[in-house]
Chains A and B, each alone.
Chain A
Amino acid sequence: MLRTRLSSSAGQVAAEYVGGLLLVAVVIGALFGGQVHTKIAVEVERAICKITGSAHCGEPGVPQAQDADDTPPGTPDREVHDAQCDNDLPGRLLRGEGDNPSGDPEADAVYDNLGQVFRYYADHFGRDSYDDAGGDLIASINFCEEPGTPTRNAYWDGHQMKFGDGYASSLDVTAHELTHAVTERTAGLDYSCQSGALNESMSDIFASNVDSNDWEIGEDLPGGALRDMANPANGDPPQPANVDDFIEMPNDDNPYNDHGGVHYNSGIPNHAYYLMVKAMGRDHAEAIVYHALTEELKPDSGFEDFRTASLAVAQRLWGEDSPEYRATNESFAAVGLDGTWEAPDVEGC
């Protein structure tokens, strides 16, 4: 009787022990397997954001309000984080504004590159960061969309820059991504079809201005250059340089079509800009495009609108009889944009 009771008691303890262990295992599995920890962090952040009164709290593709409080106007406020191959951002802070070099080559390179892009916009156009309001420049290096699997990409997500391993130290890539933020806050070019290709082109144009030693974009990336504004056919993938070769890709719900070929047809305005620089010098060409982007273009602007906007700026700055106006006209005409080009009828565009 006593033995039975003892045995029964021991079995009950063991069962409770096993049950407890199972419960803990299930909870840990749910938290880390399902990335509940990430969701909790995101939801807490959104809740705080809403309490503090922001209009858009963590909604994808919607520009986020930035903390622009702790540096004087005209001074960058940079933060470089290590995402540690995770998607829980921004990650571990490696270097904040004014900090000594972190010792991490990519972190220090992107810190310097962010400063160079900031200075470019400030010195050339008096622009105070991407939003012209001193917005913080936040970057995460070693970013992985799926924890543990390296991401071979870089992008601006409306709030910060994300760099996969090997993508952060390239100056023109940083300038390209930060210019997406400038475009988002100015012309707001829709990211599809011709306006999307213009959006991409603006990023390449200003990337070529910041990293002005060559006409390639992304030449320092692990896979080599992505685009060549002097000769768009040399790009990877090759791009058209003239509207005669405009690539008709639908803007449907298939990601394979790149929102109507935004990374393909951008070769056309890219090449027009290259010709403008050759004809009038970079200082005047970049001023024309900057003012066109920030004052003339609209979300649905197309290639001919870009020509019209550029001519309007050239006329305003130098007059209709100026070499700049003529060079602008000729550069656009050389890529087939003479004010009469009619875009092909493409599905979804």
Chain B
Amino acid sequence: MRTLLMAGLALLLLAGCGDDGGGGKAALSGPLTFERGGGLKGRRDRLVVQPDGRAELTVRGKTKPIQLTGAELTRLRSDLGNTDLGSLPADSTSERPVPDAFGYRVNYGGDTVNTDDHAMPDELRGLVARLGALVERYER
């Protein structure tokens, strides 16, 4: 009996590890816009992702259409589901700009959060890192 209970508990814990979390709005039911500026380079990146994975990436002033893979879309949905943008301060930036740090803006479902590397709420870091990595993957 104890073994069965332990197995059941393990299954429950494993199931919990893979879900989309909670607290956020339904993950990616509308366009998600990510903007990033600054850094040592002075980047200006914009990524707009649609619910079906179609996206538009603007880097170095040029815009091109891209298509996220199923795995990328799943991970993005998961990160978005774990982030309740509406609960975060709309202005989560440093009191004074930090030279060469990145600034970010995330807009989804009517909620917008501005932040930067130095003052970013922990709950936003996963989503911002995911979006930044997508920009870097598709910019080439």
Residues of A within 8 A of B (CB): 10-11, 13-14, 17-18, 21-22, 25, 34-35, 38-39, 59-62, 87, 145-146, 149, 152-158, 167, 173, 176-177, 180, 184, 191-192, 196, 199-200, 203, 218, 223, 226, 236-237, 253-259, 262-264
- Bound CA–CA A156/B136 (angstroms): 22
Please name all residues of chain B whose beta carbon is closer than 8 Å to the beta carbon of A18 when the two chains form the complex.
5, 9
What's the nearest-Cβ distance from chain B to residue A84, in Å?
A: 16
Interface residues of B, dominant DSSP: mixed
- Bound CA–CA A204/B45 (angstroms): 23
Please name all residues of chain B whose beta carbon is closer than 8 Å to the beta carbon of A184 when the two chains form the complex.
99
Please name all residues of chain B whose beta carbon is closer than 8 Å to the beta carbon of A17 when the two chains form the complex.
2, 5
Decide if A254 touches B105 in the complex (CB within 8 Å).
yes
Stretch at the interface among B32-40, B48-56, B64-72: B32-40
- Across the interface, A14 reaches (CB within 8 A) one of B5, B93, B126, B129, namely B5
Decide if A255 touches B103 in the complex (CB within 8 Å).
yes
Please name all residues of chain B whose beta carbon is closer than 8 Å to the beta carbon of A153 when the two chains form the complex.
39-41, 100-102, 117
What's the nearest-Cβ distance from chain B to residue A193, in Å?
A: 11
Contact A259/B98 with A17-B2, A21-B9 known, Cβ cut-off 8 Å: no
Decide if B122 touches A60 in the complex (CB within 8 Å).
no
In the complex, what residue of chain B is closest to A199 when comparing beta carbons?
B99
Nearest 4 A/B pairs, CB to CB: A263-B42, A255-B103, A146-B129, A61-B96
* Contacts A/B (CB < 8 Å), 10 sampled: A18-B5, A59-B95, A60-B94, A61-B97, A177-B100, A180-B100, A200-B99, A236-B41, A255-B38, A257-B37
Please name all residues of chain A whose beta carbon is closer than 8 Å to the beta carbon of B13 when the two chains form the complex.
25
In the complex, what residue of chain A is closest to B130 when comparing beta carbons?
A149
Decide if A157 touches B98 in the complex (CB within 8 Å).
yes
Please name all residues of chain A whose beta carbon is closer than 8 Å to the beta carbon of B60 when the two chains form the complex.
236-237
For the A-B complex with A154-B100, A180-B99 known, give 14 more contacts whose Cβ atoms are closer than 8 Å: A21-B9, A61-B118, A62-B96, A145-B128, A177-B40, A237-B60, A254-B35, A255-B35, A256-B36, A256-B44, A256-B46, A256-B105, A258-B42, A259-B38
Contact A146/B125 with A62-B96, A156-B99, A180-B100 known, Cβ cut-off 8 Å: yes
- Across the interface, B40 reaches (CB within 8 A) one of A155, A196, A255, namely A155
Decide if B101 touches A155 in the complex (CB within 8 Å).
yes
What's the nearest-Cβ distance from chain A to residue B106, in Å?
A: 10
- Bound CA–CA A9/B91 (angstroms): 55
Please name all residues of chain A whose beta carbon is closer than 8 Å to the beta carbon of B130 when the two chains form the complex.
149
